[in-house]
């Protein structure tokens, strides 16, 4: 029986499905493993169930030569050096599709919260400062009919565009590495623009692009100066896509109106400047966190691990591989 590591706590009833096929080492105390601990626990393991908090890099792979599958419970996989995995024949899987609508819901909610100053209003009430109604108290900007900008038009980006176009009458502009098919563009009321136009014309800009060296600080000090002073910026992509220090400065100087952030550079630590600002809504990386969706993500990661290690009904054919070329017969 192969051995597998479940690197972080996950739904016990779902993780238990692995026990029918493998000898499982889990992490019920949910300690975040540093590199040395991760390497130690991965010794002799054929597979790993990981989350965004485990970095699987070339050094880890070299130290764990028996590893054949890394199954991430996340759609993003910037915690994994996929090229290094592919070079060693290690299959990598992620959890796309199952979280698309839930994550889009949250991105939209965060954008609306920033535009309509919901968190700020709530803090104001909790501080006991509400003594009278006032005509321009906590006035924000409209979402309906405003121009929705999307940077990164993958599945989640398209799901957000659909909400904006069909539910809120928003013209949608987007920038992406590749352009959508014309019929999808027209169904989403979406227009492809260059990045400069996206920054200049968006009333509400939502970031949904994967993190990579190419997308590092895609929004930094310069980009922020090109946005409207009334605009909002929402990041549900990854920390590092935005230069958080530059964003804090722009929010403080009111170069943009507000931001909604679910992901941060260096999370779970936050740039302390962000915590001081009233015009930013902050959430702890929970865009996919509905009960049903987190269960679906765990279940898909487990299905991937079982299949990737040659067990179960889909043996050898994990449902959502990131580097399927590893599976091809050599
Ligand atoms: C969460 O950030 C994910 O990538 O699923
Ligand atoms: C990213 O992978 C997405 O689903 O948008």
Indicate which CATH number applies to the domain containing 224. Answer: 3.40.50.720
Establish whether residue 78 lines the binding site of ligand 2, counting it when its CB lies within 6 angstroms of any ligand atom. Answer: no
Could you give the 3-state DSSP secondary structure of residue 155? helix
Determine the structural domain holding residue 37 and report its residue range.
3-96+291-326
Residues 54 and 185 in one domain: no
* Residue of 238, 255, 265, 294 with catalytic role: 238
268 Cα: distance to centroid of ligand 1 (angstroms): 14
Other C-beta atoms lying within 10 Å of the C-beta of residue 256: 21
* Model pLDDT, residue 321: 98
Residues 112 and 81 in one domain: no
* Model pLDDT, residue 328: 72
Tell me the best of 10, 51, 72, 76 to mutate to test the pocket of ligand 1, counting ligand atoms within 8 Å of each CB and taking the most: 76
Residues 256 and 306 in one domain: no
Q: Is 55 considered catalytic here?
A: no
Q: pLDDT in tens for each of the 330 residues of the chain? A: 999 999 999 999 999 999 999 999 999 999 999 999 999 999 999 999 999 999 999 999 999 999 999 999 999 999 999 999 999 999 999 999 999 999 999 999 999 999 999 999 999 999 999 999 999 999 999 999 999 999 999 999 999 999 999 999 999 999 999 999 999 999 999 999 999 999 999 999 999 999 999 999 999 999 999 999 999 999 999 999 999 999 999 999 999 999 999 999 999 999 999 999 999 999 999 999 999 999 999 999 999 999 999 999 999 999 999 999 999 764
Distance CA 209, CA 10 (A): 26
Number of domains in the chain: 2
Residues 231 and 255 in one domain: yes
124 Cα: distance to centroid of ligand 1 (angstroms): 31
Residues 269 and 156 in one domain: yes
Establish whether residue 109 lines the binding site of ligand 1, counting it when its CB lies within 6 angstroms of any ligand atom. Answer: no
Residues 234 and 263 in one domain: yes
Q: Residue 110: CB partners within 8 Å, gap ≥ 6?
A: 234, 236, 260, 261, 262, 281, 283, 287
Establish whether residue 153 lines the binding site of ligand 2, counting it when its CB lies within 6 angstroms of any ligand atom. Answer: no
Of all ligands present, the nearest one to the C-alpha of 51 is: 1
Tell me the best of 94, 95, 96 to mutate to test the pocket of ligand 2, counting ligand atoms within 8 Å of each CB and taking the most: 96
244 Cα: distance to centroid of ligand 1 (angstroms): 19
Helices (H), 43-163: 58-63, 82-87, 100-115, 118-126, 155-162
ipTM of the complex: 0.74
Distance CA 275, CA 222 (A): 22
Residues 152 and 221 in one domain: yes
Of all ligands present, the nearest one to the C-alpha of 104 is: 2
Residues 244 and 308 in one domain: no
The CA-to-CA distance between both ends of the chain, in Å, stands at 24
pTM of the shown model = 0.96
Residues 79 and 21 in one domain: yes
Residues 135 and 185 in one domain: yes
Angle between helices 118-126 and 100-115 (to 10 degrees): 60
Q: Which two tokens stand for residue 24?
A: 């499982």
Q: Is 163 considered catalytic here?
A: no
Establish whether residue 75 lines the binding site of ligand 2, counting it when its CB lies within 6 angstroms of any ligand atom. Answer: yes
Distance CA 193, CA 260 (A): 23
Residues 117 and 86 in one domain: no
Residues 147 and 238 in one domain: yes
Other C-beta atoms lying within 10 Å of the C-beta of residue 180: 18
CB 73 within 8 A of CB 50: yes
CB 303 within 8 A of CB 93: no
Other C-beta atoms lying within 10 Å of the C-beta of residue 94: 23
Q: Is 88 considered catalytic here?
A: no
Q: Whose CA is nearest to atom 1 of ligand 1?
A: 74
């Amino acid at each position: 029986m192969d051995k597998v590591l479940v690197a972080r706590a996950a739904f016990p009833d779902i993780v238990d499905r692995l026990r029918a096929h493998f000898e499982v080492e889990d992490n019920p105390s949910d300690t975040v493993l540093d590199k040395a601990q991760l390497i130690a626990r991965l010794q002799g393991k054929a597979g790993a169930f990981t989350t965004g908090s485990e970095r699987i890099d070339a050094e880890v792979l070299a130290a764990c030569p028996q590893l054949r599958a890394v199954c991430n419970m996340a759609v993003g996989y910037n915690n994994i050096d996929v090229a290094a995995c592919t070079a060693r024949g290690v299959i990598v899987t992620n959890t796309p599709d199952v979280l698309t609508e839930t994550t889009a819901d949250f991105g939209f909610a965060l954008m609306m919260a920033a535009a309509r100053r919901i968190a700020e209003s709530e803090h104001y009430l909790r501080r006991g400062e509400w003594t009278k109604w006032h005509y321009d108290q906590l006035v924000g900007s409209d979402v309906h009919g405003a121009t929705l900008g999307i940077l990164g038009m993958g599945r989640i980006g398209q799901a957000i565009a659909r909400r904006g176009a069909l539910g809120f009458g928003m013209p949608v502009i987007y920038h992406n590495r590749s352009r959508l098919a014309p019929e999808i563009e027209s169904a989403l009321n979406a227009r492809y623009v260059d990045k400069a136009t996206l920054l200049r014309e968006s009333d509400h800009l939502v970031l949904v692009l994967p993190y990579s060296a190419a997308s590092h600080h895609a929004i930094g000090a310069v980009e922020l100066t090109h946005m409207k002073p009334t605009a909002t910026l929402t990041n549900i992509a990854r920390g590092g896509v935005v230069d958080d220090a530059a964003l804090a400065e722009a929010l403080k100087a009111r170069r943009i109106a507000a931001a909604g952030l679910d992901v941060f550079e260096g999370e779970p630590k936050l740039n302390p400047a962000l915590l001081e600002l009233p015009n930013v809504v902050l959430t702890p990386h929970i865009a996919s966190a509905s009960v049903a969706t987190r269960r679906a993500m765990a279940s898909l990661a487990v299905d991937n691990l079982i299949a990737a290690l040659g067990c179960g009904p889909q043996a050898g054919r994990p449902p959502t591989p990131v580097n399927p070329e590893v599976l091809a017969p050599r």
